């Protein structure tokens, strides 16, 4: 029994390898090379420390800066804007591989990429020159502010308001559940600029009137700080407007298609790690004189886990390609991929915990952390119930 415990302790990397991540469906040689680089980094620089980061609520800024040095903080920002200029499929492959080592850190990395993308797509030349190089090195950490205490899925009902005053905006309101809240250097704020219009405004940390709530005590994602972001007569120049006034909601929806693929990819990576740990455990753990892997009931459960992983990966990669090709159904397929993959991958991790029995409930075996980290993916970037609304509306219109 002690042999099993030693093998499956905190720093364990599954000895049977990363079998399902190497699936080359939709991928070319360049994708596979980038995937290997991301996975090697994940195993060496993230996986051995992820349990400690979770336990100590440590936000690994140094690791994020190393990832930035690999080009992973501006993956799909255009090269002429200072980014790497890769596609969404490549980003999905990268985020899946990195999440094998740590889901939470990778999830924050996806937010940095989304903020850089929004500046690239909608910013003027001055904003691009100011922010994209800083986002690309993690000289500036970024947060995206959409959700409010009384408007989650009903984002059009937000109350945070930016009123023009001379050449400035004066902002009042609050945002909640903001990843990087209090730690990030810049906040891309979605707010009302009229009774009907939603706009996006760049607000820097340190601006008078900008403050933060307490760090939230969460079920998972403990390696990433989360807080409310509060605006009390925050004055910023109108030049901080990102894109055109009134285009904020359109910008948010544009970013969310990719955001849904990103978070689904993080679910794939975490579930793959739980799956590989389970494979080791089924071979090592013996009951009634034989390995668990020899019991048909557990073989069936394991087969379902593998099937859910593979089918999730296929729909995520298909949706990523549709975004890359600007397919008219990209929003529909992004919603499908997000709903299916985050549900299925959470179930894979939960089944992995069940396969481990009581050991799965112990933090040293790592499975329970994956379950905690993946659970929120069914809520953020649009709840999975909202994904079903988007899917049905698209199919029935």
By annotation, the residues acting in catalysis are 381
Q: Are 258 and 76 in contact (CB under 8 A)?
A: yes
Cα separation, 388 vs 396, in Å, equals 12
CA of 112: how far to CAs of 51, 67, 385, 392, in Å? 23, 11, 26, 31
Q: Are 386 and 354 in contact (CB under 8 A)?
A: no
- Whose tokens are 């900008």? That residue is 210
Phi, psi of 203 (to 5 degrees): -125, 125
Cα separation, 25 vs 205, in Å, equals 43
CA of 236: how far to CAs of 81, 164, 211, 224, 283, in Å? 24, 10, 14, 27, 60
Cα separation, 39 vs 100, in Å, equals 8
Q: Are 218 and 177 in contact (CB under 8 A)?
A: no
Cα separation, 234 vs 231, in Å, equals 6
Q: Which residues contact 91 (CB under 8 A, 6 or more apart)?
A: 75, 76, 113, 258, 261, 262, 265, 320
Nearest-5° Cα angle at 331, 326 to 332:
120
Cα separation, 104 vs 197, in Å, equals 33
Strands 161-165 and 286-287: unpaired
Over the range 153-171, which residues count as b (16 or more CB within 10 Å of their CB) and which as e? eebeebebbbeeeeebbbb
Q: Which residues contact 77 (CB under 8 A, 6 or more apart)?
A: 83, 84, 85, 113, 116, 117, 120, 132, 136
Q: Which residues contact 255 (CB under 8 A, 6 or more apart)?
A: 114, 117, 118, 144
Phi-psi region of 23 (alpha: psi -120 to 50; beta: other; left: phi over 0): beta
């Amino acid at each position: 029994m002690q042999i099993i415990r030693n093998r499956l302790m905190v720093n364990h990397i599954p000895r049977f390898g990363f079998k399902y991540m190497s699936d080359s469906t939709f991928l070319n040689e360049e994708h596979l090379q980038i995937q290997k680089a991301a996975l090697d980094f994940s195993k060496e620089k993230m996986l051995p420390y992820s349990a400690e980061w979770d336990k100590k609520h440590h936000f690994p800024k140094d690791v994020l800066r190393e990832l930035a040095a690999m080009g992973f903080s501006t993956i799909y920002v255009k090269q002429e804007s200072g980014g790497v200029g890769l596609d969404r499929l490549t980003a999905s492959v990268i985020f899946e591989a990195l999440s094998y080592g740590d889901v939470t850190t990778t999830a924050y990395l996806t937010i940095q990429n989304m903020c850089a993308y929004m500046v690239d797509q909608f910013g003027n030349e001055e904003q691009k020159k100011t922010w994209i190089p800083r986002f690309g090195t993690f000289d500036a950490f970024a947060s995206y502010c959409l959700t409010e205490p009384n408007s989650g899925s009903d984002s059009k009902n937000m109350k945070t308001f930016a009123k023009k005053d001379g050449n400035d905006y004066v902002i009042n309101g609050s945002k909640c559940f903001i990843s990087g809240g209090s730690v990030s250097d810049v906040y891309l704020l979605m707010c009302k600029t009229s009774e009907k219009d939603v706009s996006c405004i760049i607000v820097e940390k340190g601006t008078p009137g900008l403050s933060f709530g307490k760090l939230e005590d969460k079920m998972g994602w403990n390696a990433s700080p989360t807080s409310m972001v509060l605006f009390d007569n925050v004055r910023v120049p109108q030049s901080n407007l990102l894109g055109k006034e009134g285009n904020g909601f359109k910008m948010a929806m544009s970013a969310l298609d990719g955001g849904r693929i990103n978070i689904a990819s993080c679910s794939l990576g975490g579930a793959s790690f739980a799956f590989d740990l389970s494979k080791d455990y089924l071979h090592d753990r013996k009951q009634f004189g034989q390995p668990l892997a020899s019991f048909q009931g557990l073989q069936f459960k394991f087969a379902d886990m593998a099937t859910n992983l593979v089918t999730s990966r296929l729909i995520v990669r298909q949706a990523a390609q549709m975004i890359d090709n600007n397919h008219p159904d990209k929003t529909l397929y992004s919603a499908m991929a997000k709903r299916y993959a985050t549900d299925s991958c959470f179930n894979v991790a939960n089944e992995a915990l069940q396969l481990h029995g009581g050991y799965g409930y112990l933090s040293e075996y790592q499975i329970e952390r994956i379950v905690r980290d993946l659970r929120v993916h069914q809520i953020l970037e649009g709840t999975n119930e909202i994904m079903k609304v988007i899917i049905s509306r698209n199919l029935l219109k």
